[in-house]
Amino acid sequence: MSGVGKIVKKCLGEMSFNTGGGNINWFPGHMAAATRAINSRLKVADLVIEVRDSRIPLSSANQDLQPRLSSKRRIIALNKKDLANPNIMHKWIDYFESCKQDCLPINAHSRSSVQKLLELVELKLKEKIAKEPTLLVMVVGVPNVGKSALINCIHQIASSRFPGEEETSKSRTLTWCNTGYCRIQGYKPHSFNMQIAQRPSIYVLDTPGVLVPTISDIETGLKLALAGSVKDSVVGEERIAQYLLAILNTRQTPLHWRNVHNNTVKEMQNGSDGKHDYNIKDLLPKRRVLPVASNVHYVEGIAKEVQSALYSTLSEFRGDLQDENELEILIEQQFEALQKALKISSRANEARIMVSKKFLTLFRAGKLGPFILDDVPILSSKS
Ligand SMILES: Nc1nc2c(ncn2[C@@H]2O[C@H](COP(=O)(O)OP(=O)(O)OP(=O)(O)O)[C@@H](O)[C@H]2O)c(=O)[nH]1
């Protein structure tokens, strides 16, 4: 077992990702109902866009839906590609290609990126388009992978394709929903569909994010928590932060932040320690953008201090990172260093939770750099 695996076991103890584990039920009943509804609607879908998180291309797959999904025309949309390491992303694309699975890294906030996805959808439906008057595309995925963001972007593209026809497509949507055909029971009113083409009509159907009731591999559960698919309150921010630190250290990622560290030290020596690194120009009254620009500078300054703190603690550490006890010692030192970098008073109540929350926010916003946490599976030479 790797250092990460051992420390996960040590820190998390008997915690498990299943319906019976812990006080908090992380698999609410409505997810079970939604999963059943999705499964039954999948039967009539002509194509499925399975949205996954690019940072966890395997861990963000809903395993219970896989048998049905793999038997359908499916495109795996690896969303949030802006947060994923592009060099490793290439390997994932090769991997899915070698599995003969269509996959496209996307950014659901970018219209051009979603446009490419829609082109692939139309290409995959080419044969059917010639024969059927109406086609259904379903969007599925675990929570927080960006299904709604994708649907919103598709909606914008569809609105510009059919300007002035919004009312028509709205009423069609209602008719469909009234027949019960497109209604997905979920914990969120997610039974949203829209038309993206006219002849034939292609409807896109959104679905609620659903997880599996049991995640057998605890690291998969932690990665889902890191990506925000499992609520922080279920696992605890501190545990998630510990896991992130364990991954970063065993991969030696902070050692890549040497330049950031050197620059941060130089800035401190030049006396800018503690002051936010504003560009004076950004502080001039510039209509609308002033608070946002200064916030961005502030957050970027904090992110650099965090990277610098993790670089210095890891580079000075002489222990064995494969030994869970020594890795734990390093992580403890890093919590202290992070507290300083994040400017959290040691007197603050729940300082550790505050450190964890801020550290996770920086990671999730991509401020610590792009990552892919899953390892690309090694394919046997036969396959
Ligand atoms: N950086 C980045 N953030 C994204 C992207 N797509 C979505 N997000 C963000 O991810 C978060 C979750 O997005 P949603 O669209 O609500 O995810 P969802 O899959 O519909 O979530 P559920 O409703 O829980 O199933 C939001 O904060 C989005 O702004 C993306 O491509 N890049």
Are 145 and 52 in contact, with CB atoms under 8 Å apart? Answer: yes
Burial class of residue 138, CB neighbours in 10 A (0-12, 13-18, 19+) = buried
Average pLDDT over residues 113-122: 94
Say if strands 134-140 and 74-79 run parallel, antiparallel, or are unpaired: unpaired
Q: Ligand 1 mean position to 222 CA, how many Å?
A: 18
Tell me the pLDDT tens digit for each residue of 29-66.
778 888 888 988 899 999 999 999 999 999 999 999 99
Task: Share the mean pLDDT of the chain.
Answer: 82
More confident residue, 149 or 8: 149
Local confidence band at 132 (pLDDT 50, 70, 90 cut-offs): confident
Average pLDDT over residues 104-111: 97
Q: Which of 198, 66, 203, 59 is nearest to 139 (CA)?
A: 203
Residue of minimum CA distance from atom 24 in ligand 1: 143
Grouping H, G, I as helix, E, B as strand and the rest as coil, residue 269 is helix
pLDDT given at position 7:
66
Which helix (DSSP H) or strand (DSSP E) does residue 353 occupy?
A: helix 351-364
Q: Which of 144, 68, 82 is nearest to 113 (CA)?
A: 82
Are 103 and 48 in contact, with CB atoms under 8 Å apart? Answer: no
Q: Could you list the beta-strand ranges (E) of the chain.
A: 47-53, 74-79, 102-105, 134-140, 193-197, 201-206
Q: Is the pLDDT of residue 286 over 80?
A: no
pLDDT given at position 183:
33
Provide φ and ψ at 165, rounded to 5°. Answer: -105, 15
Say if strands 193-197 and 201-206 run parallel, antiparallel, or are unpaired: antiparallel
Q: Could you list the beta-strand ranges (E) of 3-101.
A: 47-53, 74-79
pLDDT given at position 335:
96
- For the Cβ of 128 lying below 6 angstroms from any atom of ligand 1, the answer is no
pLDDT given at position 324:
86
236: left (phi over 0), alpha (psi -120 to 50) or beta: left
**Terminal CA-to-CA distance of the chain, rounded, Å?**
26
Are 241 and 355 in contact, with CB atoms under 8 Å apart? Answer: yes
- For the Cβ of 145 lying below 6 angstroms from any atom of ligand 1, the answer is yes
Residue of minimum CA distance from atom 8 in ligand 1: 146
* HSE-CB for 163 with a 13 A CA cutoff: 1
Provide φ and ψ at 307, rounded to 5°. Answer: -60, -40
- For the Cβ of 80 lying below 6 angstroms from any atom of ligand 1, the answer is yes
Spatial separation of the C-alpha atoms in residues 87 and 71, rounded to whole Å? 30
Q: Ligand 1 mean position to 255 CA, how many Å?
A: 30
Strand partners, 52: 78
Provide φ and ψ at 50, rounded to 5°. Answer: -95, 110
Q: Which of 299, 313, 306, 318 is nearest to 260 (CA)?
A: 306
- For the Cβ of 224 lying below 6 angstroms from any atom of ligand 1, the answer is no
- For the Cβ of 186 lying below 6 angstroms from any atom of ligand 1, the answer is no
Most confident range, picked from 16-25, 90-99, 129-138: 90-99
Q: Is the pLDDT of residue 139 over 90?
A: yes
Residue of minimum CA distance from atom 6 in ligand 1: 146
- For the Cβ of 210 lying below 6 angstroms from any atom of ligand 1, the answer is no
**Cα 210 from chain centroid (whole Å):** 14
Local confidence band at 252 (pLDDT 50, 70, 90 cut-offs): very high
Tell me the pLDDT tens digit for each residue of 216-251.
788 898 999 999 999 898 889 999 999 999 999 999
Expressed in percent and rounded to 5, the helix, strand and coil fractions of the chain are: 50, 10, 40
What's the token pair of residue 99? 């599995």
ω before 254 within 30° of 0 (cis)?
A: no
- For the Cβ of 107 lying below 6 angstroms from any atom of ligand 1, the answer is yes
Percent of the chain with pLDDT over 90: 50
Percent of the chain with pLDDT over 70: 75
Average pLDDT over residues 125-138: 87
Tell me the pLDDT tens digit for each residue of 255-275.
999 999 988 888 877 765 544
What's the token pair of residue 24? 């908090």
DSSP codes joined into one string, 108-158:
TT-HHHHHHHHHHHHHHTHHHHHH-SEEEEEEE-STTSSHHHHHHHHHHHH
Spatial separation of the C-alpha atoms in residues 20 and 214, rounded to whole Å? 9
User: Any idea which of 189-193, 288-292, 339-343 has the lowest mean pLDDT?
Assistant: 189-193
Average pLDDT over residues 90-114: 97
Instruction: Report the amino acid identity of residue 101.
Output: Q
Average pLDDT over residues 140-149: 95
Average pLDDT over residues 68-85: 97
pLDDT given at position 3:
62
pLDDT given at position 158:
79
Local confidence band at 281 (pLDDT 50, 70, 90 cut-offs): very low
Q: Is the pLDDT of residue 382 over 60?
A: no
Residue of minimum CA distance from atom 13 in ligand 1: 146
Local confidence band at 189 (pLDDT 50, 70, 90 cut-offs): very low
Average pLDDT over residues 168-180: 36
Q: Ligand 1 mean position to 70 CA, how many Å?
A: 24
Average pLDDT over residues 367-372: 96
- For the Cβ of 79 lying below 6 angstroms from any atom of ligand 1, the answer is yes
- For the Cβ of 334 lying below 6 angstroms from any atom of ligand 1, the answer is no
Spatial separation of the C-alpha atoms in residues 144 and 53, rounded to whole Å? 8
Local confidence band at 369 (pLDDT 50, 70, 90 cut-offs): very high
